[in-house]
A and B are shown apart, each in its own frame.
Chain A
Amino acid sequence: MYIYDQYDQKLVDERVEQYRDQTKRYLDGKISEEEFLPLRLQNGLYVQRLAPMLRIAVPYGLMSSNQVRKIAAIARKFDKGYVHFTTRQNIQLNWPRLEEVPDILAELASVQMHAIQTSGNCIRNTTTDQFAGVAADEIEDPRPWCEIIRQWSTIHPEFAFLPRKFKIAVCGSEEDRAAFLLHDIGIQLVKNKAGETGFHVFVGGGLGRTPVIASSIKQFLPKQHLLTYLDAVLRVYNRYGNRNNKYKARIKILVKAWTPAVFAERVETEWAQILARDVDGVAQLTEHEIERVKTFFPLPEYQAVNETVANAALQAQAADSLAFARWLERNVRDQKQPGYSAVTLSLKPAGVAPGDVTDGQLESIANLADQFSNGELRTTHNQNIVIADVPKSQLFEFWQLAKADGLATPTIGTINDMICCPGGDYCSLANAKSIPVAEAIQRRFEDLDYVYDLGDLELNISGCMNACGHHHIGHIGILGVDKKGQEWYQIQLGGSANKNAALAKVLGPSLSRDEVVDGIEKLLHVYVENRLEGEAFLGTYQRIGMDKFKERVYAKDA
């Protein structure tokens, strides 16, 4: 993974001191509440329902085992011994003390981590595929590009006070695992006919109150121009994005108002002027720099493994243990390197808020990464953790250890692997609780045979229309709404975050908390009754439409 040089380290250290001074001036009454708000947000600090919440950046989801151990230590020392993994691959502390945040940031800086721009109206953490580097369908490893974007966006002097938050995702593979079309900028790595790497650039995607799928504005951006082009997009947005109404301030609204074609033209004009100014091309990315960053993402030295023999050995182990077989089926994925697997550690056991882990579990995760991989792990936008490059011959041992620490719930990609925001239990924006709904669903569908029979099913829960739980792109989406002080839940169907991204449609009137799980169960019955051989929930919905689902859920009991 990327290792800081003295410049990277100095910048993060200086940011800690800047924030320490800001906190001191705030506590001394020299900075008003209003002024302190964006300053603390740009360092990831929210003030929430019960306590402040600190969001720590995990650039493109990649962490070392040492960093994970540091997070565990911070959770113990400064918080209540657990942390939360978010849908943007970051980490949240739920109970830090405002006065201690500068000390937490200093601890983070000691392991090359920070909370810079994890909130506020600025460029946020760039996200990508959790299987980067090992996915069979990869065009190119997206992580070096994410790191180049990370550096460009960090303390960018022109774009710290944008109309609204700004999120960038990079997709380097055929299948999209980064929901990149639902970002303010979605960057897809492509190759031209000459085999050169470039970028297909999309803008204006996003969830929130007005979900939109991003539009293509540039089919092939040559790689050396990545940063100048991003400057052009951000400058157009910074100058012309809506600043009067925060609900109309995201770039998607500007792109829609102007049309993608006009927006693209404005960016081209701005970009042409930036390039004209840069006569010697000094602002362009150099081959040397691209190669330098790439050297930080080497693939491990893989041993030559006979895949057939390795698979036969695994099957023999699976035949002896149904639990191991289930875990293999759902939580383990082949890599492009024969003989190795990418394992997803589930952070979704029933009874725990999805994405929450304890300090002890964090240390176990770090140990697993050291023992079975190269000491690195990846956070996922589905709020789980991936450890790649695990030799197939060691999977059984891996599984036993992960299981002992409650990290091997064999439900990845099923209904019980839901994405879920912190909701009304923690978040001051929420209209309704989301964690108890997730738990109620997991309790109802405890029968793993039934869960497996349901197959691939993405269920996403958001406690309000800000959509942190990505309800618009769940095959089944649940949105918490407030009706006269009561918590209600709107059900949506048919969302999808892959390359054929689709936004879910509303099923019908909202259900009460008591009715939600029954409603979900009825939806599943309709699916099971109507599916074709091998057809997943989303496919059945797309084929038969909304009506049958709707009729069943809202049928009056006879």
Chain B
Amino acid sequence: MQKMLSHGTVVENDWTVLQMPVESVPQGNILLPLKYWLENGAEFDQQPGLVGVWLDSDEEVEALADDLPQLPVVALNFPKFADGRGFSSARLLRDRFDYRGEIRAIGNVIQDQLFMLQRCGFSQFCLADDVDLEAAAKSLNDFSDGYQTAADQAQPLFKRLRG
């Protein structure tokens, strides 16, 4: 079973990420591609496992605005780790749409991004198979604080320190 980081700890990752075109839907927890979800989401009301949606980096989270309350997980794909659009997507999910479910980073995500991803609202991270997740998890705390407002902090540092 694959593993992932969830809220700072290593857990089993029993989710299947489906790609377009979706031909068959497996048992268990699934992440559907955004396009497929938008067209066929209603069919998954009775799905026995959990159903989440994943977006590629060029897809806009605004498309999911109405569906967020029913989604336990929204995954954001990083086709390349240097493609930073997912950072903004996560912030919009948290800040604009008040999404409180899991935001999962999938694709080419690296240890050295964990601190920033977490600040932008990500709660779960799927790193490459050969990564030692226990060791990587320490990068969630590479910094003890940050200057800026972000999904984890509505007030900038100066406001918290000096009012």
Contacts and interface: CB of A to CB of B under 8 A. Distances in A.
Given A239-B88, A278-B154, A283-B154, A161 B81 contact: yes
A247 interface: no
Contact of A10 (B60, B84, B145): B145
B154 A282 contact: yes
A100 interface: no
Interface in B115-158: 115-117, 119-120, 139, 142-150, 154-158
A14 B112 contact: no
Interface in A120-169: 121, 151-152, 154-162
Contact of B87 (A154, A161, A277): A161
Contacts of A274: 95
Interface in B65-99: 81-85, 87-89, 91, 95-96
B110 interface: yes
B85 A277 contact: no
B85 A238 contact: yes
Nearest to A37: B82
Interface string A238-251: 11000100000000
Contacts of A161: 81-84, 87, 113
A251 B162 CA distance: 35
Contacts of A14: 142-144
Interface string A220-231: 000000010001
B119 A160 contact: no
Given A39-B112, A121-B82, A152-B147, A286 B159 contact: yes
Nearest to A288: B162
A292 B148 CA distance: 17
Contacts of A289: 158-159, 162
Contact of A286 (B83, B96, B146, B163): B163
A38 B143 contact: no
> SS class of chain A's interface: helix, strand, loop or mixed?
helix
A373 interface: no
Interface residues of B, number: 40
A158 B120 contact: yes
A22 B112 contact: yes
A192 interface: no
B163 A288 contact: yes
B128 to A, nearest CB: 10
B159 A158 contact: no
B155 A282 contact: yes
A156 B144 CA distance: 14
Interface in A274-295: 274, 277-278, 282-283, 285-286, 288-289, 292
Contact of A160 (B84, B144, B154): B84
B36 to A, nearest CB: 23
B161 interface: yes
A311 interface: no
Contacts of A159: 84, 87
B88 A158 contact: yes
A292 B162 contact: yes
B87 A158 contact: yes
A273 interface: yes
Nearest to A14: B143
Interface string A425-445: 000000000000000000000
A57 to B, nearest CB: 15
Given A160-B116, A162-B84, A243-B83, A227 B144 contact: no
Contacts of B117: 157
A35 B119 contact: no
A394 interface: no
A262 interface: no
Given A11-B145, A157-B119, A289-B162, A38 B82 contact: yes
A15 B87 CA distance: 20
Interface in A502-549: none
A538 to B, nearest CB: 40
B76 to A, nearest CB: 12
Contacts of A277: 95-96
A283 B116 contact: no
B148 A156 contact: yes
A429 B157 CA distance: 39
A155 B120 CA distance: 12
A286 B160 CA distance: 12
Interface of A: 7, 10-11, 14-15, 18, 22, 31, 35, 38-39, 121, 151-152, 154-162, 227, 231, 235, 238-239, 243, 273-274, 277-278, 282-283, 285-286, 288-289, 292
9 contacts: A22-B112, A151-B147, A152-B148, A155-B143, A156-B147, A161-B113, A243-B57, A285-B158, A292-B162
Given A35-B112, A158-B87, A158-B120, 12 more contacts: A10-B145, A11-B147, A121-B84, A155-B116, A157-B119, A158-B88, A158-B116, A159-B84, A160-B84, A161-B113, A289-B158, A292-B158
